[in-house]
Homo-oligomer: A and B are copies of this chain.
Amino acid sequence: MVTLRDIASRANVSVMTVSRVIKNSGYVGKETRARIASAIEEMDYRPNEIARSLVNSKTNNIMLIVPDIENMFFSEMVKGTERILREYGFQSIFVDTDGIVQNEKLFSERALSHIVDGLIFYCPRVDGEYLAKICRKIPAIVVDRKVNSEAVDQIYIDNKSGSVRAVDHLIHNGHRKIGLIEGPDNVLANLRRKAGYMTSLHKNGISERVEYIFSANFTFEDGQEACKYFLGLKDPPTAYFATNDLMALGFIQEAQENNVSIPGDFSIIGFDNISISRLISPPLTTVNNPKHRMGALAAYRLLAKLGVSVEIPEYELTNQLVIRGSVRAIP
């Protein structure tokens, strides 16, 4: 490994002089600088960032704790984050928890061993108390989760209002029998979306029916299962609200395989507006979730916390209804 010392001796100067030229700071004689520059060139020297980190106690690494990178909902957020972090000279250390709570603990624990300057949790499932504990120990941002603690710096959209809007839309299209396809109850976003469903129903004078609620785990296959379940009902809903797009997609797929037309027979709305949802047929009506922006905002906010001078953009994190082809008006 080529070090400062090697360059110094090759150029007949002290290490400090070399250090000055690589950082481009302080006074260095023009002729000396040239000699050093060529030594650096010839020996293909690269500053050791680890040594720098040790001196500055700053790694320029951020850890991103992601439930599942294959899920486009997360890869889109991560894309938004990484771009900004990189722009400001930070690396992204990415870890995939497979949605397992224990892993969230494991990795955030690991982040504490000074390998990163900060931490971003994407839709974590651990209890809020644990999150708060971590956030007190290391600069962190929690995305897509609302925790009751001023220790945690969080970014979330109003999942409930988006869901109200979605279910309202179904009702305005004449539907009265509306099924819910929901995710796990340790994901707060899911709970909020379910709450929106209830709110919309109630304010429209519709009472919920337990048999109209299918609880699952956010996967495509869960959507298929949901469809099978509802098809087995004597009096199935005419419209459905799925708390994420992937389940809505699974539902549609299964419906079509059973010659049930979407939106002819069943209407459905999803949530998140992942990129494929516009690619299927019929294109899915869904609630947009500003994923890139949430990811970017997490980056900006974390950078600000780390003392980097950034201007945090004033993003509006609203969740508009994206009307496409999966809802039909009924008399």
Contact = CB atoms under 8 A, between A and B. Distances in A.
Contacts of A83: 96
Given A92-B94, A115-B49, A276-B276, A79 B72 contact: no
Interface stretch (A31-39, A53-61, A232-240, A301-309): A53-61
30 contacts: A46-B113, A47-B113, A48-B54, A49-B114, A50-B50, A50-B54, A50-B59, A51-B114, A64-B94, A68-B79, A69-B69, A69-B75, A69-B79, A70-B79, A70-B275, A72-B75, A75-B75, A82-B95, A82-B96, A86-B96, A91-B93, A91-B95, A91-B115, A92-B93, A92-B95, A93-B93, A93-B94, A253-B279, A253-B281, A276-B276
Contacts of A249: 279
Contacts of A276: 276, 279
A114 B50 contact: yes
Nearest to A223: B279
Contacts of A49: 113-115
B279 A281 contact: no
A101 interface: no
A78 interface: yes
Instruction: Determine which residue in A47, A91, A281 has the highest number of CB atoms from chain B within 10 A of its CB, and name it.
Output: A91
Interface string A18-55: 00000000000000000000000000101111110110
Interface residues of A, number: 46
Nearest to A275: B70
A100 to B, nearest CB: 12
Q: Which 5 A-B pairs have the closest CB atoms?
A: A94-B94, A48-B114, A46-B113, A49-B115, A276-B276
A46 B113 CA distance: 5
A68 to B, nearest CB: 8
A59 B69 CA distance: 23
Contacts of A50: 50, 53-54, 59, 114-115
A115 B305 CA distance: 23
Interface string A76-94: 1011001100100001111
A112 interface: yes
A309 B164 CA distance: 54
A15 to B, nearest CB: 16
A7 to B, nearest CB: 14
A273 to B, nearest CB: 13
Instruction: Determine which residue in A49, A76, A249 has the highest number of CB atoms from chain B within 10 A of its CB, and name it.
Output: A49
A256 interface: yes
Nearest to A292: B70
A210 interface: no
Instruction: Determine which residue in A68, A76, A115 has the highest number of CB atoms from chain B within 10 A of its CB, and name it.
Output: A115
